[in-house]
A and B are shown apart, each in its own frame.
Chain A
Amino acid sequence: MMKEAGDNKIFSFKNRLLRLRRDSNRWSLITLLVVFLIALPVLTIIFELFDGPGESWMHIVKNLLGQYVSNTVFLLIACSVMVLILGVTASWLVARYEFPFRKQLEWLLILPLAIPSYIVAYAYAGILDYGGSLELIQRYLGMEFTRIDIMNRFGLAFVLSISLFPYVYVSTRAFFLNSANNLLEASRMLGVGEIRSFFKLVLPLSRPAIIAGMILVLMEVLNDYGAAYYFGVNTFTTGIFRSWFSLEEPETAIYLSALLLLLVFALILFEKWQRRKIQYANESKKNERIYRKTTSKGKQFLIFCLVITPVIFGFFIPVAQLLYWAFLTYPSVFEYDFILLSMQTFGIAFLTATVTVILATLLIFAAKWNRISIIKSISRLGVLGYAIPGAVVAIGVMIPILALDRWLMDLVYKISGSPGGFIIHGTLFALVYAYAVRFLAVAYNPIESTALKVSNSIPDASKTLGVGNFKTFFKIEYPLIKTGLLSAFILVFVDVLKELPLTLILKPFQVNTLAVKAFEYASDERVMEAAIPSLFIIFTAAFPVIFLNKLLVKK
Chain B
Amino acid sequence: MLRVNSLSKSFDKGKSFALKDVSFSLKEGDVYAIVGESGSGKTTLIRLIAGLETPDNGTIEINGKQVSSIHKIVSPEKRNIGFVFQEYALFPHLKLVENVMYGISKMKNKEQRANEVLELVGLLDLKDRYPHQLSGGQQQRVALARALAPSPSLLILDEPFSNLDAMLKAQLRNEVFDIVKKAGVTAIFVTHDTQDALSVADEILILQNGKLVQKDAAANLYSKPKSVYVASLFGSTIQLSKEIQSAFECPLKTDCCHAIRNENISINDECDYVTHATVLKKTFLGSDTQLLLRLDNGEHLTVVTKHNQIDERITIGFNSKDVLEFRE
Contact = CB atoms under 8 A, between A and B. Distances in A.
A457 B89 contact: yes
A458 B91 contact: yes
Which of A7, A467, A479 has the most chain B CB atoms inside 10 A of its CB?
A7
B93 A464 contact: no
B70 A19 contact: yes
Interface stretch (A10-18, A204-212, A495-503): A10-18
A476 B91 contact: yes
Interface in A436-459: 455, 457-458
B82 interface: yes
Interface residues of A, number: 26
B150 to A, nearest CB: 6
Contact of A457 (B54, B79, B87, B146): B87
A455 B85 CA distance: 11
B102 interface: yes
B87 A464 contact: no
B77 A10 contact: no
Interface string B66-81: 0000111101111111
Nearest to A371: B54
Contacts, number: 87
B14 interface: yes
A457 to B, nearest CB: 4
B52 A10 contact: no
Contacts of B17: 7
A10 B14 contact: yes
Contacts of A467: 77, 102-103
- Secondary structure class of chain B's binding surface, majority of residues: loop
Contact of A458 (B14, B56, B89): B89
A462 B82 CA distance: 10
Contact of B54 (A6, A11, A19, A466): A19
Given A6-B21, A22-B73, A458-B91, A465 B103 contact: yes
A461 interface: yes
A219 interface: no
Given A457-B86, A458-B89, A464-B82, A11 B21 contact: no
A455 B87 contact: yes
Contact of B92 (A19, A460, A468, A480): A480
B14 A11 contact: yes
B59 interface: no
Contacts of A465: 77, 102-103, 146-147, 150
B83 A464 contact: yes
Contact of A462 (B10, B79, B80, B102): B102
B73 A23 contact: yes
Contacts of A22: 54, 70-73
Interface of A: 6-7, 10-11, 15, 18-19, 22-23, 371, 455, 457-458, 460-468, 475-476, 479-480
Given A460-B83, A460-B85, A461-B91, 9 more contacts: A10-B14, A10-B57, A371-B54, A457-B89, A458-B89, A458-B92, A461-B83, A462-B102, A464-B81
